[in-house]
Amino acid sequence: MKIDFIGDVHGCLPELLELFSKLGYDISNRLPIHPENRRPFFIGDLTDRGPDSLGVIELVYRLVEEELGFYVPGNHCDKLYRYLLGNNVQVKHGLETTVAELQNCEPNKRRKLSNMFMQLYKKAPLYKQIPELGAVAAHAGIKESLIGKEGKKVKSFVLYGDTTGEMDELGRPVRLDWAKHYHGKDWIIYGHTPVLEARVMHHTINIDTGCVFGNKLTACRFPEQSLHSVPSQQPFVEEKFRSFD
């Protein structure tokens, strides 16, 4: 199996289509198809902040439904799902743009896209082990001791990462650098924390290069382990990017 893992899209549909093109997918039909049967794997956070979250939902839903692609959810996906269930979630941190897109739709289209997303989310595993590639895909990553496990702790880790529950001086959740202490054999492919350049640390690769914050959208090919990016069309927001030692 040949996979192209794709980092946090956050509604950046034009960049996603450009990335597919760059990776050699034929995007002239309804769904992007690769001549060598490569499959895209979305590592979560499809929506929020970007210009076309609904377009991204529809595309990923169809790819997964037709077994042409894979998806694991991110924290933004989890929140959108809870919003669509009617739970009392705060419509901010980007969710407001996706909600506005839904509210601007005809009722039938709104229902259709809401249902698509809910199906996509409900059917998705929290993270996915791909033994033939020696890889594990999880939105915010996963610690070695949690691989193969389920439960609340796993869910919180793969959606939010290793957090302390505290905030930093800019009001961002304090994130612990789990990758620095990861010594597993499997490659962990993840996103969630925007970085200017894809970050390879031990056997982990963070491919969230902050497309929605004006940097670039990145894919990582397996088994080749090569990185491919297209530039963002969004304004650059420097303070959203983390640097690591």
Smallest gap from Cβ 21 to Mn ion, in A, equals 25
User: Tokens 């929506």 identify what position?
Assistant: 47
Does residue 228 belong to the site contacting Mn ion (CB under 5 A)? no
Smallest gap from Cβ 136 to Mn ion, in A, equals 17
Residue nearest to Mn ion (CB): 192
d(CA 57, CA 46): 7
User: Tokens 């009617």 identify what position?
Assistant: 86
d(CA 142, CA 162): 9
Using the rule CB under 5 A, give the single segment among 51-59, 70-78, 113-121, 194-202 that binds Mn ion.
70-78
Smallest gap from Cβ 193 to Mn ion, in A, equals 8
Q: By C-alpha distance, which of 190, 192, 191, 241 is closest to 215?
A: 241
Query: How many chain residues are in contact with Mn ion, going by CB under 5 A?
Result: 4
Choice between 75 and 215, CB closer to Mn ion: 75
Q: How far is CA 201 from the centre of its chain?
A: 19
Smallest gap from Cβ 211 to Mn ion, in A, equals 12
Return contacts of 17-22, CB within 8 angstroms, 24+ apart.
18/217, 18/230, 19/217, 19/219, 19/228, 19/229, 19/230, 22/228, 22/230
Choice between 25 and 209, CB closer to Mn ion: 209
Ranges within 26-45 binding Mn ion (CB under 5 A): 45
Using the rule CB under 5 A, give the single segment among 93-101, 103-111, 189-197, 232-240 that binds Mn ion.
189-197
Choice between 53 and 75, CB closer to Mn ion: 75
Phi, psi of 23 (to 5 degrees): -80, 0
Smallest gap from Cβ 42 to Mn ion, in A, equals 12
d(CA 90, CA 199): 31
- DSSP alpha helices (H): ranges in the chain? 13-22, 53-65, 75-84, 95-103, 107-123, 152-160
Q: Are strands 226-231 and 216-222 parallel, antiparallel or unpaired?
A: antiparallel
Q: How far is CA 162 from the centre of its chain?
A: 17
Among the listed residues 192, 199, 216, 228, the single contact to Mn ion using CB under 5 A:
192
Mask 80-109, x = binds Mn ion (CB under 5 A)?
------------------------------
Smallest gap from Cβ 33 to Mn ion, in A, equals 28
Does residue 74 belong to the site contacting Mn ion (CB under 5 A)? yes
Does residue 75 belong to the site contacting Mn ion (CB under 5 A)? yes
Choice between 112 and 175, CB closer to Mn ion: 175
Choice between 50 and 74, CB closer to Mn ion: 74
d(CA 7, CA 73): 12
Q: Which stretches of the chain bind Mn ion, using CB under 5 A?
A: 45, 74-75, 192
